[in-house]
Structure 1
Amino acid sequence: MKILVFGHSGQVATELRALDGDDVQITALARADADLTEPAACAAAINAHAPDAVINAAAYTAVDKAESDLETAQIINADAPAAMARACAARDIPFVSISTDYVFSGAGDTPWTPVDPTDPQSVYGRTKRDGEVAIVTTGGRYAVLRTSWVVSGHGNNFVKTMLRIGAERDALTIVADQIGGPTGAAEIARACVAIAKTLASEPEKSGIYHFSGAPDTSWADFARAIFDAAKIPCAVTNIPSSDYPTPAERPLNSRLDCTMTEAAFGISRPDWRESLTHILTQLDFPKD
């Protein structure tokens, strides 16, 4: 299967490029190849490459910056995926687009299902939700894959930040009232490819799905796990989100119910502790 990927150096796009081989041929487009601020160029790239499937692993993910940059976030997170979805529908090929837990309000403590009403509390969340709606309305072979707390051995993410800061300090205060599932980018990449393959032969499985690591945890407990695994002697003290204000509101409840994904595609929630072990090995931790 020839898969065209939007995104090149991001966490999931990097892992998708690593999957290139005999079974799957990955072509990943950098911004110079397809600028997401020009949705028509994205559609043109799909027509030019004539792939068997498309995965959108690119997005405007600067959550706080989006609060003052609505226009750009809307184009990249909503208009561009809409153009991609229309181009894929016209060619009758699968389109898989990665979305986020930020489309929900973050209220309560029950895991969100794919059919729960969305209620985003930030510009980032609203633009990603608008992208989802646009994809669904195209009527093609599609999967919107909502995920959360993406981590890997490359790019900017919580694991790498904790390893850097933890090595510099004896103690940290970390938010403990935000709960979710850390998710390895490598696992997301493999899930996207598996879903694209299934949609090629089973278009009736098109829909919105969830995929996040297990078990659900807090940022503070995740930090403790990182320090323990990396053998970094940094103590963690719990604080509420109110002690760490940000321009964009973070959801307190990022738990995702992933049962529909397993039922449709046979993909179960990955154990983030195994993902963390793999990431630390890539980054040569624990240090001697």
Structure 2
Amino acid sequence: MNILVTGKNGQLGSEIQELSYNLQQFTFFFTDIGELDITNKSSVLSYFKENNIKLVINCAAYTAVDNAEDELDIADKVNNHAVNNLVRAAEINDAYIIHISTDYVFDGTNHSPYIESEITSPIGVYGQTKLDGEKHVINSSTRGVVIRTSWVYSKFGNNFVKTMMRLGKDRDELGVIADQVGTPTHAKDLAEVCLTLLSNQQLWSESNEIYHFSNDGVCSWYDFAFEIMRQNNISCTINPIGTEDYPTKAKRPSYSVLNKNKIKKQFNIKGKHWTVALEEMLSK
């Protein structure tokens, strides 16, 4: 089977590339904008046909949450219209799609973990464009899966973990937001879930579905930063601050915890606490 993975240079795309060497039964095509501009419909259609693509894992996204408020057209082009291009190409070529989405499709007002069927209500441009992209998959005639995730980090790329490590080594203390709660996700664990789905025959016979996946447990950004310092033996003091003390252009959900029971039960996926996943990433 020929599999297209978009966003090859991102955190998730990079993790999938590393794991793909163990899956010789599949032929992977890893692309970024240099190899395939997914916002160009004709380019996507040609690429699918020329390479006989039968499954796409869409890791590509515009993820600059604050910049999206000023760059609506660009965010919408990548997070929404490009997904439509991939879905249409999948329909024409009888291919399957696994699309990665985000906790930002919710408004963050819950007090218990979000299940897949709860009403979505984005509070910013990024979340709205990602939700619009989801709808192309769910409403299409091709077979597809949307996987929503949260607070992704990896040994690849730029992320919160690397930023905290860098700042922690340069400063004696840092203020980190303590009133936004969610669950970190090691991109490697998300990559493993995506690749697990590839080999599941049950998935191929079902209608389009939404799943949630992150690591287990709950924490604030303050808790996350504190644990990063602790595991790295960095002596920087972490001080809890409120959202109002760190204003940003885009509003963030105050509660982003996702309920993972559906994907765990259906595909026999074992959970991993976020502190354990962080330790595994730092060991790399």
Aligned residues: 282
| Mapped contact 1:199–1:205 kept (Cα < 8 A) | no
Unaligned runs of 5+ in 1: 283-288
For residue 167 of structure 1, give the secondary structure of its aligned residue in structure 2.
helix
Report the AA paired with residue 101 of structure 2: S
State the shift of 1:201 in Å: 5.8
Tell me which residue corresponds to 1:286: none
Tell me which residue corresponds to 2:117: 115
> Within 1, Cα distance between the matches of 2:208 and 2:68?
29
State the shift of 1:200 in Å: 7.4
> Within 2, Cα distance between the matches of 1:55 and 1:200?
18
Moved more, 265-274 or 72-81: 265-274
Shift in CA distance, 43/267, structure 1 to aligned 2, threshold 3 Å: farther
Shift in CA distance, 40/247, structure 1 to aligned 2, threshold 3 Å: farther
State the shift of 1:250 in Å: 0.7
Asked if 1:51 is matched to 2:53, the reply is yes
| Mapped contact 2:40–2:85 kept (Cα < 8 A) | no
Report the AA paired with residue 195 of structure 1: L
RMSD: 1.5
Poorly superposed stretches of 4+, deviation over 4 Å: none
Asked if 1:139 is matched to 2:148, the reply is no
TM-score by length of 1: 0.93
> Within 2, Cα distance between the matches of 1:86 and 1:186?
28
Moved more, 190-199 or 62-71: 190-199
Tell me which residue corresponds to 1:243: 245
Give CA deviations for 1:189-245 in whole Å, capped at 9, x if unaligned: 111122233267633153011001111111100111111100001111111111111
| Mapped contact 1:39–1:75 kept (Cα < 8 A) | no
Tell me which residue corresponds to 2:254: 252
For residue 100 of structure 2, give the secondary structure of its aligned residue in structure 1.
strand
| Mapped contact 1:16–1:186 kept (Cα < 8 A) | yes
Report the AA paired with residue 36 of structure 2: A
Q: What's the % identity of the aligned pairs? A: 38
> Within 2, Cα distance between the matches of 1:240 and 1:252?
11
Asked if 1:10 is matched to 2:18, the reply is no
Tell me which residue corresponds to 1:98: 100
Report the AA paired with residue 88 of structure 2: R
For residue 253 of structure 1, give the secondary structure of its aligned residue in structure 2.
coil
Report the AA paired with residue 109 of structure 2: A
Report the AA paired with residue 15 of structure 2: E
Give CA deviations for 1:157-185 in whole Å, capped at 9, x if unaligned: 01000100000111111001111110011
State the shift of 1:43 in Å: 3.2
TM-score by length of 2: 0.95
Report the AA paired with residue 8 of structure 1: K
Asked if 1:272 is matched to 2:274, the reply is yes
Asked if 1:214 is matched to 2:236, the reply is no
Moved more, 252-261 or 201-210: 201-210
Structure-to-structure mapping, 1:76-87, within 5 angstroms: 76-87=78-89
Unaligned runs of 5+ in 2: none
